[in-house]
Amino acid sequence: MKIVVTGSAGFIATNLIPRLLDRGDEVHGVDNFFLGKRSYLEPLRARERFTFYEFDLLDLDRLVKLFESVQPGRVWHLAANSDISFGTKYTDFDLKGGTLVTYNVLEAMRRAKTPEIVFSSSGAVYGEPSVMPTPENYGPIFPISLYAASKVACESLITAYAHNYEIRSWIFRFGNIVGPNPTHGVIHDFVLRLRENPRELTILGDGTQSKPYVYIVDCLDGMEFGQKKAREWVNCFNLAVDDQTTVTEIAEWTIEAMGIDRGSIELKYTGGSRGWRGDVAQVKLDTRKMTALGWKPKLSSHESVRRTIRDVVEQFRNGPLA
Ligand SMILES: NC(=O)c1ccc[n+]([C@@H]2O[C@H](COP(=O)([O-])OP(=O)(O)OC[C@H]3O[C@@H](n4cnc5c(N)ncnc54)[C@H](O)[C@@H]3O)[C@@H](O)[C@H]2O)c1
């Protein structure tokens, strides 16, 4: 199948694309390197059936031309501003980089008659729900960050396009996804900061923030599984694990994995119950809709975090990658 992957130099995409290519799919990737990395993309560029296009998805004309020439059978729409804290500084960041980009992708799909979209949403759409673990049909949803507000808007655009233009869609509301090729996030930040200064580590909030961490292989298995099994016009799933890991646990395990003497390092908490404005500090997602279909993650949250710390310490052994 011909597939367009947006955000193709990012964390999730650079783990996904090798799987698609191994299966014989023809992949067309788009990224503007806003957060994506050239070094993660490099091994893919040598592969047959992979073509990369460097441009900003806000350029609708370019996107429409690409879709009209490729005629893809499916889009994996993964591009977004994935760093939630940006939206607190620049209030139109997620509006443009999330919502408008998604509109452009859907519009290019409509014009080229692309029949399927797989979308990476987030458990952040629920805001601070009164029901935990939170199921997919919880509502009304009131997001507390501009990032999450944009994800809700993207989901709404997708469902409207799905019903108006017969575009089948799969929306996955992720927990925190972790694994090799990180571009941002708590493990990425801790490993890089501890390399710089193994005597002190600043931790945002009070360290009790607790979230379900999903290993990238489980995430991709889950998305592919859901995409094959669920055949409504709109299919929406939480994609998470049932346990949660705290930020302090992640800090302690990173220090241990880097061989830093615990007695010689000070943990400095910035305080408050959240990491940043808009951070949902306690997340529990109900995964029964996915597990009822037959999907089960192989790793728990704790295992996913420990494994990722090993992956990232190894990957950043010589410093951050370009
Ligand atoms: N990683 C997680 O824990 C997590 C959790 C929930 C949702 N998500 C969503 O999953 C998707 C992928 O996440 P990720 O962790 O791989 O993030 P990422 O930042 O590593 O990948 C996103 C990619 O999109 C690219 N991009 C952004 N705006 C662009 C634009 N206007 N034009 C072209 N390229 C653009 C970036 O350069 C980056 O390479 C995102 O939509 C994110 O919001 C991720």
Please write the tens of the pLDDT for every residue from 159-211: 999 999 999 999 999 999 999 999 999 999 999 999 999 999 999 999 999 99
Tell me the best of 4, 12, 181, 280 to mutate to test the pocket of ligand 1, counting ligand atoms within 8 Å of each CB and taking the most.
Answer: 12
Distance of CA 117 to the CA centre of its chain: 16
Q: Indicate whether 322 pLDDT > 90.
A: no
How do residues 281-290 score in pLDDT, each as one tens digit?
A: 999 999 999 9
How do residues 54-68 score in pLDDT, each as one tens digit?
A: 999 999 999 999 999
Q: Which of 223, 204, 194 is nearest to 290 (CA)?
A: 223
Rounded to a whole number of angstroms, the CA Rg of the chain reads 19
| Domains of the chain (ranges, CATH numbers) | 2-177+215-239 (3.40.50.720), 178-212+243-284+300-315 (3.90.25.10)
pLDDT at residue 69, rounded to an integer: 98
CA atoms within 13 A on the CB side of 235: 22
CA distance 295 to 289: 9
How do residues 286-313 score in pLDDT, each as one tens digit?
A: 999 999 999 999 999 999 999 999 999 9
DSSP string, 202-225: EESTTS--EE-EEEHHHHHHHHHH
Work out the pLDDT band at 247, boundaries 50, 70, 90.
very high
Tell me the best of 6, 8, 66, 78 to mutate to test the pocket of ligand 1, counting ligand atoms within 8 Å of each CB and taking the most.
Answer: 78
Work out the pLDDT band at 318, boundaries 50, 70, 90.
confident
Which amino acid residue places its CA nearest to atom 21 of ligand 1? 10
Whether residue 116 contacts residue 75, with contact meaning beta carbons closer than 8 Å, is answered with yes
Task: Give the residue-averaged pLDDT of 71-89.
Answer: 91
Q: Which residues of 113-136 are buried (b: 16+ CB within 10 A; e: fewer)?
A: ebebbbbbbbbbbbbebeeebbbb
Q: Which atom of ligand 1 is nearest to the CA of 83?
A: 19
Whether residue 250 contacts residue 190, with contact meaning beta carbons closer than 8 Å, is answered with yes
pLDDT at residue 87, rounded to an integer: 84
How do residues 86-106 score in pLDDT, each as one tens digit?
A: 888 899 999 999 999 999 999
Coil, strand or helix at 154:
helix
Q: Indicate whether 320 pLDDT > 90.
A: no
Q: Which atom of ligand 1 is nearest to the CA of 124?
A: 6
Task: Give the residue-averaged pLDDT of 23-39.
Answer: 97
Mean pLDDT for the chain overall: 97
- pTM for this predicted structure: 0.98
pLDDT at residue 42, rounded to an integer: 95
Q: Where are the alpha helices (DSSP H) in the chain?
A: 11-22, 38-45, 60-70, 86-89, 93-94, 101-112, 146-165, 186-196, 216-229, 247-257, 288-293, 301-315
Residues with CB under 6 A from ligand 1: 7, 9-13, 30-36, 56-58, 78-80, 82, 97, 101, 120, 122, 174, 176-177, 183
Helix, strand, coil in percent for the chain, rounding step 5: 45, 20, 35
Whether residue 281 contacts residue 209, with contact meaning beta carbons closer than 8 Å, is answered with yes
Q: Which atom of ligand 1 is nearest to the CA of 34?
A: 37
Q: Indicate whether 261 pLDDT > 80.
A: yes
Which amino acid residue places its CA nearest to atom 25 of ligand 1? 7
Q: Indicate whether 85 pLDDT > 80.
A: no
Coil, strand or helix at 146:
helix
pLDDT at residue 83, rounded to an integer: 83
Question: From ligand 1's centre to the CA of 53, what distance in Å?
Answer: 16
Q: Indicate whether 228 pLDDT > 80.
A: yes
pLDDT at residue 158, rounded to an integer: 98
Q: Which atom of ligand 1 is nearest to the CA of 151?
A: 43
pLDDT at residue 319, rounded to an integer: 79
Question: From ligand 1's centre to the CA of 189, what distance in Å?
Answer: 16
